[in-house]
Amino acid sequence: MDYNQLFTEMGIESQKIEAKGAVASYIPELHRVDPWKFGLHLTTIDNKNYGLGDCNEKFSIQSIAKVLILALAFELEDDKLWSRVGVEPSGTPFNSLVQLEYEKGIPRNPFINAGALVICDILVTRLKDPKQEFIDYVRNISGNRSIDYCQETAESEKSAGYKNTALISLMKSYGNIVNDIDVVLDFYFYLCSIEMTCKELSQEFLFLAANGINPLTNSRIVSPIKSKRINSIMQLCGFYDEAGEFSFRVGLPGKSGVGGGIIAIHPGKYSIAVWSPKLNKRGNSYKGMKILEFFTTRAESSIF
Ligand code: GLN
């Protein structure tokens, strides 16, 4: 499909959508971002690219990086992974503590903070130099050496990371964290600080649209079955207590981050990234969700 005409329409539509909500304020560095930024980029599996607005400006991808640590840990652990983290939607906010106590320190899924912290613990055990090896892994996925952590954002989150400290301490008390909690938290805050543009993000995630192979570099990132499973967890858990709403409105597997980014995948077709920093009450980009709903509706291109 040629999306040029639709992207022209989306440029007009994006100006009509009022950006409601507020920029994340609990991470001091994120609060400094211009709330009116807006970027959108689509990459098809045959490498056609369509961009809009601030699609070439880097932003903090935050929880979107949880998909990439999952891909790496899944490669390393295979199905052993699922003894320490589940695959069920949580129906709770991304940083909620309540279920963890009832469920004895086993997080519902890898995309809530608790689950991502367990994945980080696994990577801290398996990798000699987790930060360096992980950023190399991320760069290799799309062949993009410019992708990096943002130290200011990572340190800024660390200075205010009380909820994550509480989550990891609770899990440590149940024996589901093996390593020193400060080491695991440090790795977690850094991976959340990774910056990409919408264009880079859509190219990075294209492997999930192509059965685990990045068509841009022709390299296999994960097996087809792992690609299927990661997409299914994104579908059910990528938006925390708003996963149903995203599925209902957009109809694609996706993942959001509190930096205002969203990545969504159409297996077999494309990946699409959007960035608009103002978040709704559930911590997902308000305008990002609206424009993706417009896109999949107009293009008649959801998985349903
Ligand atoms: N770094 C953020 C946190 O731990 C990630 C959350 C998100 O993007 N939803 O709170």
Residue 164 near ligand 1, beta carbon < 6 Å = yes
How many beta carbons lie within 10 A of that of residue 172, not counting itself? 18
Q: Is the CB of 258 under 6 A from ligand 1?
A: yes
* pTM higher than the cut 0.85: yes
Q: What is the pLDDT along the chain (304 residues), one digit of tens a residue?
A: 779 999 999 999 999 998 899 999 999 999 999 999 999 999 999 999 999 999 999 999 999 999 999 999 999 999 999 999 999 999 999 999 999 999 999 999 999 999 999 999 999 999 999 999 999 999 999 999 999 999 999 999 999 999 999 999 999 999 999 999 999 999 999 999 999 999 999 999 999 999 999 999 999 999 999 999 999 999 999 999 999 999 999 999 999 999 999 999 999 999 999 999 999 999 999 999 999 999 999 999 999 9
Question: Cα(210)–Cα(276) distance, rounded to whole angstroms?
Answer: 26
* C-beta 239 within 6 A of ligand 1: no
Query: What is 3-297's CATH topology?
Result: Beta-lactamase (3.40.710)
Atom of ligand 1 lying closest to residue 192 CA: 1
Probe residue for ligand 1, chosen from 67, 69, 95 as the CB with the greatest number of ligand atoms within 8 Å: 95
b/e per residue 186-212 (b: at least 16 CB within 10 A):
bbbbbbbbbbbbbbbbbbbbbbbbbbb
Token digits for 104? 């004895």
Find out whether the beta carbon of 156 lies less than 6 Å from any atom of ligand 1. no
Q: How many CA atoms lie within 13 A of 241 on its CB side?
A: 11
Reading across the β-sheet that carries 270-275, which strands appear in turn? 49-53, 39-44, 270-275, 261-266, 254-256
> Which of 192, 240, 285 is the pocket-test mutation for ligand 1 (most atoms within 8 Å of CB)?
192
Q: Whose CA is nearest to atom 10 of ligand 1?
A: 95
In this structure, what DSSP letter does residue 54 have? S
- Residue 21: alpha-carbon gap to chain centroid: 20
